[in-house]
Amino acid sequence: MRIFLFESQTRQGLHAFASDIAGTRLPDRVGPWRLVSGSPSGGLLPHGIPRRMIERAIGAEGFQLWRLKATPEAK
């Protein structure tokens, strides 16, 4: 399965994976969404996220949301 990475333009740090380049099944309530990149079938996903987990979520829900954790600011 080819997987595409999107980012929300209204929720900072919120990202999503979807199997279609248009992201038609991504939730509207946290959109609009901007396409960031694509990963070929079997390719690595960012931040070591397990591909099998993402593919299951896409199969069940049509997408998988994820958020980067904020790093604490140095003082």
Task: Note the pLDDT tens digit of each residue in 22-56.
Answer: 999 999 999 999 999 998 888 888 878 899 999 99
Q: Which domain holds residue 34?
A: 3-67
Q: Which helix (H) or strand (E) holds 67?
A: strand 64-67
Considering all CA atoms of the chain, what is the largest pairwise distance in Å, rounded to the nearest integer?
A: 44
Query: What is the structure's pLDDT at 73?
Result: 60
Strand order in the sheet with 64-67: 33-39, 3-8, 14-18, 64-67
Do residues 37 and 15 touch, judged by C-beta distance below 8 A? no
Is 14 contained in some domain? yes
Is 44 contained in some domain? yes
What is the percentage of the chain residues whose pLDDT exceeds 90? Answer: 69
Is 73 contained in some domain? no
For 1-75, where are the alpha helices, taking DSSP H only? 51-61
